Amino acid sequence: MIDIKKEHYIDTIIYSIDHIIRGVKLQLKQKLDTLDIGITSEQFVVLDTISCFDDLYQQKLSEIIMKDKSNTNRILKVLEEKGLVKKEFGNVNNRLVYFLRITAKGKKLVESVIPKMKQFITEIFTHINDDEIELLHSLSHKFQSDLTDFSNEVEF
């Protein structure tokens, strides 16, 4: 069991993680905005996420990017209008859904931006080595697992 010795929220690991995430998101947003790629950083995250999955539908996308359905729908509409994403009918658990597909234009955009994003991340984390990154990944998976376990135990 974890012994939480900190008295104040701002002294906890939760605060530290939140602070890091907000800072990294802000830095990446600013860097992405300098590329002038024609979409916002939020839209790029959605496009990149869609490029990672074959059978992704809106509800699952919303869960992955941690946004509500209406916000996700708004972003998808813009990406569709720009010809970066298309929807195709499909079936999940006997329910009709739209699978989200990245277009060739969208894939080309993602492929052109990813190397630059990797470089930005490398610039942000100059004092963290590869072993520490792997440890951070491992710890984040443990945090996610514990949160999932906790969510499944708690009844609301």
Is residue 64 situated within a structural domain?
A: yes
The domain that contains 87 carries what CATH number?
Answer: 1.10.10.10
What are the tens digits of pLDDT across the range 106-124? 999 999 999 998 888 888 8
Taking CA atoms, 133 is separated from 21, 25, 87, 140, 145, in Å, by: 15, 17, 36, 10, 18
Whether the per-residue pLDDT at 156 is higher than 60: the answer is no
Is residue 111 situated within a structural domain?
A: yes
- Domains held by the chain: number: 1
Is residue 93 situated within a structural domain?
A: yes
What is the domain extent for residue 101?
9-125
- Contact status, residue 53 vs residue 66, Cβ threshold 8 Å: no
Is residue 98 situated within a structural domain?
A: yes
Residue 72: count of CB within 10 angstroms of its CB: 20
| DSSP secondary structure letter of residue 11 | G
Instruction: Please tell me whether the overall predicted TM-score, pTM, comes out greater than 0.85 for this model.
Output: no
**What does the buried/exposed string (b/e) look like for 80-118 if buried means 16 or more CB atoms within 10 Å of the residue's CB?**
eebebbeeeeeeeeeeebebbbbbeebeebbeebeeebe
Is residue 96 situated within a structural domain?
A: yes
Is residue 23 situated within a structural domain?
A: yes
What are the tens digits of pLDDT across the range 67-94? 999 999 999 999 999 999 999 988 888 8
Is residue 53 situated within a structural domain?
A: yes
Is residue 106 situated within a structural domain?
A: yes
More confident residue, 26 or 125: 26
